[in-house]
């Protein structure tokens, strides 16, 4: 069992190692943030086939749906609301192994069971967007995802 988990974690690490330079190249060659969010959502989704991968941008004091891959989603999230609004308010990555245990979780889809939300910051450290990834399985995300997705967010 432990060995099985180690192999699974290894695969994930390996996928992020391959994905990171691809995203670095994409982001370095384009300055438009929406174009970059669109391609980043696409390559993450192609690599991992999560339920939903996308961005919410801070627009006039509210998170507004940005580029994403997956089923339709809520369009606006207020600061402090749900997992996304909490990541924004606390300026900190949220790893949620079971969305039903997260007070105030916003269920855009009943299929979503676990979630990770990573802040995307400007040079002053202010949150300008969040990267939200949802899984249809429980406990999909861990410190490996947080580490790599934060590195990816830092490129943007
Ligand atoms: N579940 C998120 C809302 C966004 S959707 O899952 C795409 C939340 O609680 O912030």
pLDDT tens digits, one per residue of 30-65 = 999 999 999 999 999 999 999 999 999 999 999 999
Closest listed residue to residue 120, CA positions, set 90, 86, 148, 152: 152
Closest listed residue to residue 40, CA positions, set 68, 3, 12, 10: 68
pLDDT at 7: 52
pLDDT at 1: 47
> What's the pLDDT tens digit per position in 86-128?
999 999 999 999 999 998 888 888 899 999 999 999 999 999 9
Q: Is 56 helix (H, G, I), strand (E, B) or coil?
A: strand
CB 68 near ligand 1, within 6 Å? no
Q: Whose CA is nearest to atom 2 of ligand 1?
A: 106
Q: Report domain extents, the chain.
A: 2-155
pLDDT at 135: 97
Sheet holding 52-59, edge to edge: 76-77, 62-69, 52-59, 127-135, 114-121, 94-96
C-beta neighbour count of 107 within 10 angstroms: 12
pLDDT at 110: 85
Closest listed residue to residue 46, CA positions, set 27, 73, 18: 18
108 alpha carbon – ligand 1 mean position (Å): 6
CB 63 near ligand 1, within 6 Å? no
- The top-level CATH class assigned to 2-155 is alpha beta
90 alpha carbon – ligand 1 mean position (Å): 16
- What value, to the nearest 5°, has the Cα angle with vertex 142 and ends 25 and 106? 95
Q: Which two tokens stand for residue 73?
A: 């989603």
């Amino acid at each position: 069992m432990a060995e099985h988990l180690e192999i699974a974690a290894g695969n994930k690490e390996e996928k992020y190692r391959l994905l990171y330079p691809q995203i670095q190249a994409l982001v370095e060659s384009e300055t438009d943030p929406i174009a970059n969010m669109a391609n980043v959502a696409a390559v993450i989704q192609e690599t991992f086939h999560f339920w939903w991968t996308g961005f919410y941008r801070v627009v006039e004091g509210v998170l507004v749906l940005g580029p994403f891959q997956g089923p339709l989603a809520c369009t606006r999230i207020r600061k402090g609301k749900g997992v996304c609004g909490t990541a924004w308010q606390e300026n900190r990555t949220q790893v949620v192994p079971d969305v039903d245990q997260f007070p105030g979780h916003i269920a855009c889809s009943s299929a979503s069971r676990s979630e990770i939300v990573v802040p995307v910051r400007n040079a002053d450290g202010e949150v300008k967007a969040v990267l939200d990834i949802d899984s249809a399985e429980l406990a999909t995300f861990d410190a490996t995802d947080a580490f790599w997705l934060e590195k990816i967010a830092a490129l943007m």
